[in-house]
Structure 1
Amino acid sequence: MSIVEIYSVVDPDAMHELGVAFGRALAAGDLVILTGPLGAGKTTFTRGIGEGLGVRGPVQSPTFVIARTHPSLVGGAPLVHVDAYRLADASEVEDLDLDFDGSVVVAEWGAGLVGVRDSWVEVVIERPVGGGDTGAGDNVDDSADFAEAPVEPRTLTVTGYGPRWQNGVLA
């Protein structure tokens, strides 16, 4: 069973604020898979999740370290922010020895790589694309790309899978 929600954001501030709302809805054991092209706002969204969770920042793209853990400042779950772009398969994710049960795990580029759990959330971010886009193989900080690109609306398709999300993510 899955529940689909659609959100439109007009700028990076709105993306961040939506992330804050998501962060407030998340708890230890939750997995969020983020998908979208470079510059879509995945890291901006994750920064908001971190703020909503009350974790120590700054939340930055984990491109070069694969995963960053941000401990809670308010006694809640830590945020584990994963960039799975350079990982070949799910076994490499397992090698990272992430605390899926005791943390909120947000995995950019994690579709198909992070093992499916009883419940998880998938967020697909779409943005207008044009001839000047950066190629997917370039290592560009997602949040910086969002800030430098023309401010264009994004559409987020959020699908909650499993019993944890049977009433929706922000319901």
Structure 2
Amino acid sequence: MIVVDDIAMRVLGARLATVVRPGDVIALKGGLGAGKTTLARGLLSALGLEEDAPSPSFALVQPYDVPLVRLPVAHVDLYRLEDDADVQELGLDDYLTDSLLMIEWPERLGARLWDHSLVLSIEVTPDGSRRLTALVPDAWRDRWPPQ
């Protein structure tokens, strides 16, 4: 899938918001500036967040709860983490009970990424658009791509 610009990336996030459920994991892969946070902002906005969501790169985990959003979301950025102990301290499993877990830089989880995760890899193309590749698990088969 080709995403032509930031507006289209936000629209994709908004379309994802129509199909997400508690317990879902969306793993966002891509280099710096690929559009991971832009997609997350589109999703959060479509879930009702009125302000622009900050990048969670310093907070690591940015939770959003009802009534700010219609579904609890934990927006996670693992870019600055370097070892397994740091990841374990975040307690990400706890969010799977009732929240959507959206993870930037999921590579830092290694083999611990949940099997039911929708993995979206974003690559910047020479013309500045984004090539998005999806690894779609069974839990997402009837929801991807979102309409």
TM-score, reference length from structure 1: 0.74
**Greater Cα offset, 84-93 or 19-28:** 84-93
Q: 1:127 aligns with which of 124, 127, 135?
A: 124
Supply the RMSD in Å over aligned alpha carbons.
Answer: 2.2
CA distance in 1, matches of 2:96, 2:58: 21
Q: 2:98 aligns with which of 99, 102, 124?
A: 102
CA distance in 2, matches of 1:48, 1:9: 13
Partner of 1:141: none
C-alpha deviation, 1:52, in angstroms: 2.6
Opposite residue 102 of structure 2, the aligned amino acid is V
1:55–1:79: 8 Å Cα contact kept in structure 2? no
Partner of 2:46, secondary structure, is helix
Partner of 1:79: 73
Opposite residue 50 of structure 1, the aligned amino acid is L
Q: 1:67 aligns with which of 61, 65, 72?
A: 61
Gaps of 5+ in 1: 1-6, 130-150
Partner of 1:113, secondary structure, is helix
1:95-154 deviation digits (Å, cap 9, x = unpaired): 11231221111111112517332411001000036xxxxxxxxxxxxxxxxxxxxx7211
1:19-98 aligned within 5 A: 19-55=13-49, 57-73=51-67, 76-98=70-92
2:45–2:52: 8 Å Cα contact kept in structure 1? no
CA distance in 1, matches of 2:136, 2:48: 22
**Greater Cα offset, 151-160 or 31-40:** 151-160
Opposite residue 167 of structure 1, the aligned amino acid is D
2:15–2:43: 8 Å Cα contact kept in structure 1? yes
Partner of 2:53, secondary structure, is coil
Q: Hey, which of these two has a bigger chunk of helix by percent?
A: 2
1:45-74 deviation digits (Å, cap 9, x = unpaired): 000111232245431111111110112337
The higher radius of gyration belongs to 1
Gaps of 5+ in 2: none
CA distance in 1, matches of 2:143, 2:18: 14
CA distance in 2, matches of 1:121, 1:127: 20
